[in-house]
Structure 1
Amino acid sequence: MVRSGIESIYMKKTGPLCFAMLKSYLFKRYPFSAARHSFPEIRRTLKHMMQEVRFDIIHIQSNMVHNFPDIDRWLEAVVVDYMDAISLSLERRYRWTNQLMEKAAVRGELGRARKYESYLKECATNGIVPSETDRSHLAPVTIEKLDVVPNYVDDSLFSTDIHNPKKEAIVFTGPLHEPEYVDAAIRLVKNIFPALKLSFPELECWIAGSNPSAEVRKLALLEGITLIEEQENVRKHVLKAAACVYPLRFGYGQKISVLEAAALGCPIVLSHIANEGIEFTSGKEVLLADTDEQFIFKTRQMLSNRIRRQFMAHQAQSFVCTFFSEKQVIDQLVSVYDKAAKQREYYEKNKHEEKSGIWNL
């Protein structure tokens, strides 16, 4: 919420939420991404706050909207924040998987996600998405006005010296419990790394990220593989690695882990899926690959040429600083807020004039 600057004005812990989540998922048939953000208490809390304060803007995440059935009647301007186009990821995962049970589960969740996106259209007229890809996917089915406001990278990451010595290692980073990252980590370790090891006998492979799944933990038992979980250690290993490799096969949205790797000055080899919403140019800021053979070839190229690595790392760092720095993104967000507030003001003014006209008659 925005009220003459940024200020945290109310924080409260909620009680057990299992019942609310199950009710939202089983009976209201919301997608799991929304159902797990069901907080009955937040509706009463917000109603109390709005009685005391008139806000300029209410910025709400899309997976929280179902907590507020009266959102379309609020006096304040509302901006719904789509962190990502969830249905797009589910569509890709459905096409990618060959497991019948997984296919059935994903199909059911996809139906719920599409229904929820249509429901959001009835709740608000202003929304933001992180990329043009998300907007083109969501525009036909959801909120009328979608503006692109990308994820931003902490400015402190750009101070890295890309000329620092690198260790002979490749690194993969991300939330290691998410299906697309689990698949990519397994693919890197089993399909790509062994071939690279033949060319670079001392090469190490680091898998770095939070909440690793059981499948990812098993990878750390293999020779040459190291699992890193602590966030500070993740960044330290990205700084040391000769290259970041992102062989994602499905998924959606801007990958903040890719943006951070670029900001930290690590050379990058990634798939078109991992590049989606960022739009690096292959051969300039990064090397793009999709098949296992392409990843092996492109990563060999990157590891074999230190000067090229440094050049591309510098180009990628500059690109991210230009389009994804904190100031750049905040300016875009404030512009969206300003537009939404003016639209709401115009609507209220017309509504008042219509009522005045009726009374004059």
Structure 2
Amino acid sequence: MKILILSTWFPYPLNQGSKIRAFFLIKALAENHEITLISFEDAPIQPEWKEEIHKYCKEIIIFPKQPFAYQKTKLLLGFFSTKPSTVFAGYSKDFEALVLQTAKQRNPDLIFAFTFVTAPYALKTDIPLKVVDADNLLAFMLYENYQLAQGLLQKLRRYMAYIKFKNYESNIYRHFDRCLVVSEKDVDRIKTYIPFTDQQVLNVPNGVNTQTHKPGTIAKQKKQIIYNGAMTYYPNYDAMFFFLKDIFPRILHQLPGTQLNITGKTQGVPIENLPMTKNVRLTGYLPDIRPIVSSSSVCIVPLRQGAGTRLKILEAMALGTAVVSTTKGAEGLSVENGIHLLIADTPEKFAKAVIQLMEDEELNQKIVQNALSLVQNIYNWDQIGANFAQQISNLSNIKNHA
């Protein structure tokens, strides 16, 4: 088939969860299909990035605009719209024209839209097969934000944002032949507010490249723990606030000298509001986090909110680093507490779990080996991609015989 792909993010370099997901799904489709990619320019695109994506896409068309750059006046006007403010403010007639023109010229058999940002443009076309990757179900994340709201005004604003996004996702996604989500839990969730058939929703989990992410020869630093998530994403910031305020002091009390490394960008993040200590190091953006994850004895995932599944957990597991997570952090993953990782939700239990993995080498290694087997057998991108590509081929066959 000829496939037209619309991407919110340019799918390279592989430095962010949504880009990683897009890259490996595109790679899987490219095995047997001809791909044309239209992508927003979320950051200045380097020639070598395009060169890498050209291995999988016959044609790459860059739309020179950031997907989340909004005019303030449009955002304000969006408050009075039935659509979410970001959708109202971010819709581009120029991008729509580009999609329609490309569809007319290339005559693709299928259009595949990544996230809610590009989904409405796909529906403007008369391409016979339409697929959307819902990725994170933002309506559910907004509902969690509403539940955490304090004060009547904040509750009202967050509830309105939730209702708008829930209605928007329902009105858009229901018109696609297939909608991708990242876990069986999200399959059940999305069906609560969108009237999908069982065939319409596909569970295509996130994964890890087990060829590039594998246990290395780097020595473990017994008192080094890591959080590999940029705090520019609010759930990551909230996770670190929770950990530094309520959990880390308990760990330091029992294991003085423990070092926490936090990776990722911090531009625009109110670091001054975090209860930092000399035992915390902000590494900033690292082009390759594998060495620092591999050398850590424990990867912490103290998330209290957010959506989707955590690539940071899968990457740590593939690299041979034991994980301690909250229930929310491990949400959607086929993991068992005490087998593949340790799960704890209170400050006391979370600190105890981290200390246990730092002190008990036998337990640490048992968790590491079980987790490694899990990602190699279930969460490797080669297997996920092959299953996804087969589902798309099945869709084409069903449509052709309809």
TM-score (norm 2): 0.78
1:158–1:79 Cα change, 3 Å: same
Shift of 1:70: 2.7
Q: Which residue matches 1:67?
A: 121
Give the C-alpha shift of residue 251 in structure 1.
Answer: 1.7
Q: Is the 8 A contact 1:271 1:288 kept in 2?
A: yes
In terms of mean alpha carbon deviation, does 137-146 or 295-304 score higher? 137-146
Segments of 5+ residues of structure 2 without an aligned counterpart are: 5-32, 36-55
Moved more, 286-295 or 231-240: 231-240
1:294 offset after TM fit, Å?
A: 0.9
Partner Cα distance (2:328, 2:86) in 1: 21
Kindly tell me: are residues 346 and 94 of structure 1, through their superposed partners in 2, closer, same or farther at Cα, counting changes over 3 Å? same
Which residue does the alignment assign to 1:94? 146
Residues 295 and 57 of structure 1: CA distance in aligned 2, closer, same or farther (over 3 Å):
same
Q: Are 2:57 and 1:7 equivalent residues in the alignment?
A: yes
- Write the letter of the residue equivalent to 1:249: R
- 2:260 and 2:281 in contact (8 A); partners too: yes
Query: Is 1:307 the equivalent of 2:365?
Result: no
Counterpart of 1:138 in structure 2 is 190
Distance 1:10 1:208, change over 3 A: closer
Pick from 127, 140, 159 the counterpart of residue 179 of structure 2.
127
1:224 and 2:224 matched: no
Question: Structure 2: how far apart are the matches of 1:268 and 1:332?
Answer: 27
Residues 1:232 and 1:18: Cα distance change in structure 2 (over 3 Å):
closer
Q: Give the total of aligned pairs.
A: 345
Q: Contact 1:39–1:67 at 8 Å: present in 2 too? A: no
Larger Rg: 1
- The 8 Å contact of residues 175 and 212 in structure 1, kept in 2 or not, is answered as no
Question: How far does residue 233 in structure 1 lie from its aligned partner after superposition?
Answer: 5.5
CA distance in 2, matches of 1:332, 1:303: 37
- 1:358 aligns with none
RCO (CA 8 Å, sep 6+): is it higher in 1 or 2?
Answer: 1
Query: Partner amino acid for 1:285?
Result: H
Closer, same or farther: CA 193–19 of 1 in aligned 2, 3 Å = closer
Cα 1:217–1:209 change in 2 (3 A) is farther
CA distance in 1, matches of 2:399, 2:211: 36
Q: How far apart are 1:101 and its partner, in Å?
A: 4.5
Higher helix share: 1
Structure-2 change in CA distance of 1:216 and 1:345 (3 Å):
farther
Q: What does 1:270-309 correspond to in 2, within 5 Å?
A: 270-309=325-364
Give the CA RMSD over aligned residues: 2.6
CA drift of 1:255 comes to 1.0
Residue 59 of structure 2 aligns to a residue whose secondary structure is coil
- In terms of fraction of residues, the more strand-rich structure is 2
Establish whether residue 54 from structure 1 lines up as the match of residue 107 from structure 2.
Answer: yes
- Per the alignment, residue 270 of structure 2 pairs with 215
% same residue? 19
Is the contact between residue 231 and residue 269 of structure 2 (CA under 8 Å) also seen in structure 1? no
The 1:32/1:204 distance shift into structure 2, 3 A limit, reads: farther
Q: CA–CA distance in 2 between the matches of 1:281 and 1:312? A: 10
C-alpha deviation, 1:344, in angstroms: 2.6
Instruction: Give the TM-score taking structure 1 as reference length.
Output: 0.86
Counterpart for residue 155 of structure 1: 210
Gap runs ≥5 in structure 1:
348-361
Residue 78 of structure 1 corresponds to 130
Q: Which amino acid aligns with 2:280?
A: I
**Amino acid of the structure 1 residue aligned with 2:141:** S
Residues 43 and 27 of structure 1: CA distance in aligned 2, closer, same or farther (over 3 Å): farther
**Contact residue 186 and residue 216 of structure 1 kept, 8 A:** no
Name the aligned partner's letter for residue 120 of structure 1. Answer: I
Alpha carbons 1:220, 1:226 under 8 Å: kept: no
- 1:206 and 1:213, CA in 2 relative to 1: closer, same or farther beyond 3 A? farther
Deviations, residues 293-325 of structure 1 (Å, cap 9, x unaligned): 110111111111122212211211221121121
Deviation at 1:167, TM superposition (A): 4.2
CA shift in 2, pair 1:309/1:337, >3 Å: same
Q: Return the offset for 1:166.
A: 2.3
SS at match of 1:11: strand
